[in-house]
Structure formats: C-alpha cells, structure tokens
Amino acid sequence: MEMDILSKLRQVPDMLGLKSDIVTLGRVKNVKVSLQEKSVMLTLEAPNGALLDVAEQWKTDSMKRLEELDWIQSLHIDAVRPKPKNLHAKRYSALENVSEIIAVSSCKGGVGKSTVAVNLAYSLVQRGARVGILDADIYGPSLPTMVYPEDRVVRPSPTNKGFVLPLEFHGVKLMSFGFVNQKAAPGAGGVGAAVMRGPMVSKLIDQLILATQWGSLDFLIVDMPPGTGDIQMSLTQQMAISAAVIVTTPQRLSTIDVEKGIVMFQNLKVPSVAVVENMAFFDCIHGTRHYPFGESHMQDLAEKYLIEHAFQLPMTQESAFAADHGRPLVLGGKCSKTVETYKEIAAAIAREVVRLRHKALLAPDLLFNSARGILLRSYTSTEAKEVTLSAAHLRAQCRCAQCIDEFTGKQLLDGTKIPTDIVPTTIQRKGNYAYAVTWSDGHAASLYTDEHLHQLISEISSS
C-alpha cells in the first residue's frame, strides 16, 4: 500500500525547476497507513522556511493524486517547515542550526547595500522564515540606525556561557558592533571602530558570528563590509556562506568595484545568485522617469557572471525615510512597487538556495587523467554516468568570444590547428554554473557551463 502511495506522489513535480518530484527530493515524511481504517497520514516538508507556499501547493497536488486510490477513505496531509540545520557548522555551535547564510555585498560603500539587506531579511520573514541579520561592518555599522528596537542592550546568554543574545525587532534577530559599542553607530558621536587595525576587526567579527546565540534560523543575512580584502575573505570562509546577493548602482565605477566582489566570491566558491541595482531611477510628480546615474549595467553584469536574477530598485522618499527612522520599508504596510520588488527578491533567493543545494549534488564533474584524457561525469537522483573524450575534443568545444562569433554563432576556432597533445593546465569550478579551463596552448578563456557539459555527455553517450 505504501508503495502505491509513493508511486502516486512521484507524480507531484517539485515546482522549483529541478525536474524532479517530491519523493525523490525526500520531502515526503512520516507516512502512516492504516488498512483497518483505510486511512493515510503523511507530512510534506517545505524546501526551506520561506517556501511553505510551495509545500502547500504540493499538498493540494498530493491530495488530488492520492484520491485516485479507491481504498483510501481518510486522508490527512500536513505541510510543515523543515528544522534548520547547517551542514558546514560542525565546529561552530553558534551556527549549527542556521540553514542558509546569505551575504549581501557591494564592495563599494554608498550604494544602499544595508537597505537591501534589511528589507530582504524582513521580506523573508513575511514569507514565514526564521531570520537573523548580522551587520559585519565594524567600521561603519548601519543596522542600529536602520532597525531600532526598544531594547538595545546586548545581554549574555543565561544558558550558554560565553554567548550573547541577539536583539530582536519584529521577528528578526539582530547583531551589530553598533549595538555592542553604541559609540560606533553612525551619528553617535564616538569613534568606535574607526581607529582599529585589521587583525582586531577580524577578531571582533569572529566574536559577533561565533559568540551570538542565533538559535534556529532558516536564513542569516550578512550585511558585508565594503571591499575585497582580508576581512571580507576571512568572513566568507569563516561562515560557509551559501550564496551572495550583489548590490550596485548604474554608475560605471560602482559596477567595476562590484565585479571585484563577484570574482572574490567565485574564487571562494560562493555563487552570486542575484544582482540588485539600487537607485536605478526615480519617477517625478509629472510621471516622467529619470535616470540620474545613467544607463543600467545590471543585465551586462548578470550575463557576464551567469547570475540568475536581476532586479532594479528606484530612489524614493519612502525608502530614505524608513532607513533613517529605524523601521524597514517592507514593514510600513504600503504595497508599493519597491515593496513588491523586495518580495520578488526574497522569493527568488528562497528558491535559488534550494536549487543550489540540488545542483551541488547533481552538478557534472570535469576531470583530467593523463592516461584516459578528459573525464565527464553526470549524476541524477538514481544513477551516475561517465564518458571520456580527448583534451583536443573538449578544447574544440570552447564557446568563448575568441572561438565563437557571439553575434553569428559562427565557429572561429580552426579545430585542425589544435595540438593533438594539448592538455588542460588548470580546471577550476566557477560559481555554481560552470568550469573554467586553461590550456597548454595558452588559451585561458574556456568556460564550460553545466548545461554544455551535460549536452556533451548526452551526445557522446548516444554516439
């Protein structure tokens, strides 16, 4: 009987673009069948705490499928949030129950990164997630200004020695050096962290991360300090960040700095999943849209670095007022276009981290063996496949601008001129979407996306 139930539930698609089903993904829990009462009870576990709406749709679809089984007279399905767990935080008890850590980064100050981080956090809460915010900017903490809880005193944990309790405001847990040392907060009149050296700042950040009793969180949003130095790299490595949201403005200078940050995340194996172009435009009272910082570079940035999602936020008086008065815009009750965009960003991030976890399991492998040549391996939920090809064959498949005309798609690379003894000198995973390969013939621009590699595996397997 249980096999019949699971067979029906395998017909319920994941709804997340994973090309899978709820049984294969392991979202069906606690199946209980009573033949005597002809009843079925089961639980559907949401992909994460912000996607309970997906689990509710699974529930509706599952009810329809299981009602096709004539012997079932009583059917009860619960849709629940998963219990948060961090698979990378074995050594750090402060983060062991934090499922996803999202870095909000810009690398350049003044682009509204903190505004985006705060409103993203509260938009995730509105989707049902348990959320915390870490303001990791020791030199210029913004969180105490943007979120103003009545109780601003950081207290030691009564249950865990050496830990402190985060502050809370409207369901979000908060931690910032500006709460610990209120002289460091903007406008407080003190110098705070402004005179600290790098090693001291790194130590402080570690303490904020690892000595805060975060508890169970679906998402911890990290408002990253600007820049790409040792502090940012140490922070990224320390926390095992799940994904990054990149904030920029239309200014070319901002875009240049942001690219440095994206490359840093790529090198640290952190995928950038969304670009948010802040202050992209404003609409005047006469209904005309103005672009004070010039044309957008957002889409170019997203395409260049294979970033899945791109959003634009306008300049508005409401956003500025909310940021200055300690209450995030999305809590204001108004259903403005800006609030709707934040909701879209939150939904996209919630779905994307699920895809990232899934892709991490199913991403192809690209390897080189001096005796066998190039090894390509693909994985599904039920099987693994391996094919081999020559290094010259893979080199000929390069689709960079030097090898393929980007406008016509015409092959520019002459395959007959590829050395037969060519070998890859480096193979490096780029973000969560591709492999970068440099070759012994000096070519250093080959980028093979997962989709391209899966296509190659399919072609070779069927030939």
SS3 annotation, 189-238? CCCHHHHCCHHHHHHHHHHHHHCECCCCEEEEEEECCCCCCHHHHHHHHH
Q: What is the CATH number of the domain that holds 431?
A: 3.30.2020.30
CA-to-CA distance for 439 and 445, rounded, in angstroms? 9
Which stretch of 98-102, 206-210, 245-249, 365-369 has the lowest confidence by average pLDDT? Answer: 206-210
pLDDT band at 188 (very low <50, low <70, confident <90, very high): very low
* Same domain as 400, residue 335: no
Q: What is the CATH number of the domain that holds 319?
A: 3.40.50.300
pLDDT at 296: 82
Q: Computed from CA positions of residues 176, 182, 184, 189, in that sequence, does the dihedral angle turn out positive or negative?
A: positive
pLDDT band at 409 (very low <50, low <70, confident <90, very high): confident
Phi-psi map region of 261: left, alpha, beta (phi>0 left; psi -120 to 50 alpha): alpha
Average pLDDT, integer, range 88-110: 81
Average pLDDT, integer, range 317-333: 87
3-state DSSP assignment of residue 383: coil
Query: Is residue 189 pLDDT above 70, yes or no?
Result: no
pLDDT at 182: 66
**Tokens coding 155:** 């207290």
CA-to-CA distance for 47 and 14, rounded, in angstroms? 9
Residue 431: inside a domain: yes
Count the Cβ atoms, other than its own, within 10 Å of residue 183: 12
Owner of token pair 């030691």: 156
CA-to-CA distance for 102 and 280, rounded, in angstroms? 23
Radius of gyration of the chain (CA): 25
* Same domain as 332, residue 446: no
Q: Which of 80, 106, 140 is the last residue of a domain?
A: 80
- The predicted-structure confidence for 138-182, as pLDDT tens digits, reads as follows 888 899 999 999 888 899 999 888 899 999 999 999 999 889 876
pLDDT at 190: 46
Nearest by Cα to 218 from 43, 97, 136, 135? 97
Q: What is the CATH number of the domain that holds 37?
A: 3.30.300.130
* Same domain as 416, residue 272: no
Residue 277: inside a domain: yes
Q: Which of 17, 46, 80 is the last residue of a domain?
A: 80
* Same domain as 385, residue 356: no
Which structural domain range is residue 440 located in?
365-462
* Same domain as 355, residue 373: no
* Same domain as 298, residue 420: no
* Same domain as 159, residue 100: yes
Residue 217: inside a domain: yes
Which stretch of 118-122, 192-196, 210-214, 380-384 has the lowest confidence by average pLDDT? Answer: 192-196
**Tokens coding 259:** 């690219």
pLDDT band at 217 (very low <50, low <70, confident <90, very high): very high
Residue 85: inside a domain: no
Count the Cβ atoms, other than its own, within 10 Å of residue 37: 9
Query: pTM for this structure?
Result: 0.78
* Same domain as 224, residue 135: yes
Count the Cβ atoms, other than its own, within 10 Å of residue 374: 22
Give the total number of structural domains in the chain: 3
State how far the alpha carbon of 89 is from the alpha carbons of 2, 132, 160, 391, 433, in Å. Answer: 36, 16, 17, 38, 24
Average pLDDT, integer, range 359-369: 87
- The predicted-structure confidence for 46-90, as pLDDT tens digits, reads as follows 999 999 999 999 999 999 999 999 999 999 999 999 999 876 665
Q: Which of 361, 377, 403 is the last residue of a domain?
A: 361
Burial of 134 (0-12, 13-18, 19+ CB in 10 A): buried
Distance between start and end Cα atoms, the chain: 42
* Same domain as 383, residue 258: no
Count the Cβ atoms, other than its own, within 10 Å of residue 419: 12
Which stretch of 116-120, 315-319, 412-416 has the lowest confidence by average pLDDT? Answer: 315-319
Whether residue 339 contacts residue 309, with contact meaning beta carbons closer than 8 Å, is answered with no
- The predicted-structure confidence for 331-344, as pLDDT tens digits, reads as follows 987 768 999 999 99
* Same domain as 149, residue 291: yes
Which stretch of 188-202, 305-319, 372-386 has the lowest confidence by average pLDDT? Answer: 188-202
* Same domain as 356, residue 373: no
CA-to-CA distance for 373 and 376, rounded, in angstroms? 10
Average pLDDT, the chain: 88
* Same domain as 42, residue 170: no
CA-to-CA distance for 2 and 281, rounded, in angstroms? 56
